[in-house]
Amino acid sequence: MPGQRCQRRAGCRSGGRDAGAGPGARGSLPGRSGPGARGPPGQSPCAMSGVPGGRRPTFSGLAGERLLEKAAGARQRCGSGGGSVPGTLLCTDRRLAFLPGQAPGSRGLLHSEGEVALPCIHKLVAASSFSKPKVLTAASTLKFIPEELAVFCRDFRLLHFYFPENGLSSEAFRVANAIAQAREAAAWLGDAAEGHDGCSSPGEAPPEEEEEEEGSSTTLLFESLRDWEKELQRLGAAGWRVSAVNERFDMAPSLPQYLWVPSGLLDHDLKRTFAHFQERRVPRLCWHHPGGGDLLRAASFHPASEPGSEDVRCLEALLLGDRGPCVLADVAELPTLADIQLAHLRLRALCLPGAVAEEKWLSALEGTRWLDHVRTCLRKAVEVVLLLAGKRCSVVLQEPSDRDLNCLLASLVQLLGDPHARSLPGFQSLVQREWVAAGHPFPRRLGLLCRDSPREEAPVFLLFLDCTWQLLWQFPADFGFTEAFLLALHDSSFSPYFSTFRFSCQRQRRHSSMPRLPSQTYRPTGGWQGPGELGGSPHTRTFPPVWAWGRRYTRQQQQQFRNPAGPPAPAEPPAPGTPGDPCPRKGSRLVLALAKGSLCPHPLPWWSRPPPRPPHRVSPSESQGTRGGLPGGCQPSPGLLLPCTAAPCVRLWRRCYLRGLPQEQPGRLAPSLAGLAEELQLLQERLGAWAGRRPR
């Protein structure tokens, strides 16, 4: 699976001529637009002309977005056949956009494959026939007229733009420098510039509204008490309640306003427990298994905490209660943040054209260790979900900060055990609860802050999306969404224009310039709606959630997000199953630790002596079949997924990671009938492979 080197000379010129760069492409060009060029105040840039074929693609930007430079008549390479598409290359203060000449216009934000948010640009390289390729930065000086511009994106895309010799030399020079400078100035987080509201500009067509399919549910954002109560009722978790103890974020700034805590624990007693955990992130419920098991998550115990007798009572009521034994699942077996970042950097370098020779590509892929990390996370999630499905116990996920790997592991466990989480609205609600509301620091982990230290970068969320794709590939008929949806979410994570990824915790979102709404539930139609509102105009927010897909994708593109062969979301939670090895529920003080697939006794820090040892060690990974089994001879509960985590079963997400290679772009932008035929053949092969894996 080798990469192909960039053909800077013959490929650029022959590609442009073969694609039909004739006299129409050498026509008169519009007037120049300098860095400060813009339309009337409050309006987006107007229509532009000078594109081959007489078309007039219009650029409708966001409110406050400024057009810095443009190059009409530029061409974008597509596929490995040397073909290219004519159009206009634009640089604004927020994104890089290419408008194909065949398209009547552009609407919204990041609406096509040719648009890239500035924070998503990893490297910019200019090339010419008379000089070596040069990496462009804001401080660099470009001493030649670029004939080709290569944009290396952090989402594994690689965009090539050509400037034919038809009078574009000055525009090519200016647009290349403008992109380099705008990219360096894209320290968007915390920017309080007016007009960054993500809304339509005057004169811009409003975003298309998605028609809500019959029976589709809403996506809960978990920013209101009503959302937390609704989800707790769906889970059927008896013995738990919604607490507003952190409603003002004074108990734990990085935790959400509302928490799921035991019903018998009063808020007055709950407040005594915050100081005994790092970052004051106390244990709280995140999922209830129909069989009776509870999944909790928390930060590590504070090393300097010395709880008194009353604090110990509250801590044990929070951790143990009357729920049977407590299993502490530490994430120490998962890859560290540094391991994830290093593997991701190696993978991105490997997926560039010409990175390694063909015969060494597979060994180099193994050397990145990215797939090893995916396999480790899936294996750990299987161990946890088997415990919840086979025993009536509580599993507490513990991580020092409770903001990174706990998000990943808690989400994977619910994907394996909860069919609702595998529906499209259920998955979006899952991300909102376990990542967004739980305080995952998206800007630092995705490297969207230029002033942050690179050591804080670690794409944990992208690792979770890869694990989700592995499950989707192994169980395609059990998911209500498709690979196209995961790919759209993957690419959107690098965009700063959504509240989902712009802030590090719910407190930041609440204290930003966004207005507080009476309801925080987003519906595909009608936008933001208050309690009892079944219609009416949407309530506009400064930064919309990423789930507002209608702002960036057409109806046809959004239809590809839903799996027509997938199961519908269950209206009610499945009936409780029979536990395989019931444990005493009343007054149990048994605390175990899950390590390397086995359970062993583990005293709590404030216990003076260890608890009684269990009669034997219990291994949740004892297999009764090819894909794993349940302890105690229990049969799998309905809806439980047990993926194969062996090395041959964990594959590379080709459509995401290899799309920068020319040979992996068949039919992209449809440059010819041959490209369409190649794309059709690829789709037929994928459909045949998918049909062969369906259960009969």
pLDDT of residue 165: 75
Query: Both tokens of residue 222?
Result: 């978990």
Reduced to 3 states (helix: H, G, I; strand: E, B; else coil), residue 179 is helix
8 A C-beta contact, residue 110 and residue 94 = no
* Element holding 518 (H helix, E strand): none
What residues in the chain have per-residue pLDDT under 70? 1-63, 79-82, 102-113, 166-168, 187-217, 449-454, 513-542, 568-588, 608-637, 663-679, 682, 686, 689-690, 692-696
Place of tokens 């928490």: 259
Residue 167: predicted pLDDT: 59
Continuous segment of H or E residues that includes residue 367: helix 361-368
Extract the tokens encoding 146. 């670029």
DSSP state at residue 435 = I
Instruction: Classify the C-alpha dihedral 576-582-588-590 as positive or negative.
Output: negative
In the numeric block, the tokens 């942050």 are attached to 452
Residue (of 224, 230, 66, 219) closest to 550 by Cα position: 219
CA dist., res. 517 & res. 538, Å (int)? 11
Counts for the chain of helices (H) and strands (E), in that order: 18, 21
Q: Other C-beta atoms within 10 Å of 482: how many?
A: 20
**What Å distances lie between residue 366 and 157, 642, 645, CA to CA?**
21, 24, 15
Give the bridge partners for 303, in sequence order: none
Give the H/E segment covering residue 5.
none
Residue 561: count of CB within 10 angstroms of its CB: 20
Torsion (CA) 530, 532, 536, 542 in degrees, nearest 10: 10
Residues in Cβ contact with 266 at an 8 Å cutoff, skipping those fewer than 6 apart: none
pLDDT of 112: 61
Query: Two tokens at 618?
Result: 């219990």
Give the span between the Cα atoms of 580 and 616, in whole angstroms: 16
Q: What pLDDT, on a 0 to 100 scale, did the predictor assign at position 606?
A: 82
121 backbone dihedrals φ, ψ, rounded to 5°: -75, 120
Q: Where do we find the tokens 């000379």?
A: 9
Give Cα separations from 526 to 55, 207, 210, 218 (angstroms): 34, 12, 9, 11
> With left for phi above 0 and alpha for psi between -120 and 50, is residue 643 left, alpha or beta?
beta
Q: Which residue from 418, 414, 391, 326 is spatially nearest to 633, judged by alpha carbons?
A: 391
Q: Given strand 84-92, what is the order of strands in its sheet?
A: 115-117, 95-100, 84-92, 67-77, 158-162, 148-153, 121-128, 131-135
Cα separations in angstroms, 598 against 384, 612, 628, 631: 11, 17, 14, 11
User: What gap in Å lies between CA 606 and CA 663, rounded to an integer?
Assistant: 60
The percent of residues above 90 in pLDDT, for the chain, comes to: 44
- How far apart (Å, rounded) are the C-alpha atoms in residues 279 and 401? 7
Judged by phi (left if over 0) then psi (alpha if -120 to 50, else beta), residue 608 lies in alpha
Residue 373, SS3? helix
At 472, which amino acid appears? L
In whole angstroms, give the CA distance from residue 466 to residue 468: 5
Find all residues with CB under 8 Å of 542, minimum gap 6, and list them.
196, 197, 198, 499, 512, 513, 514, 515
Tokens for 177, please give them: 């420098």
How far apart are alpha carbons 63 and 94 in whole angstroms? 11
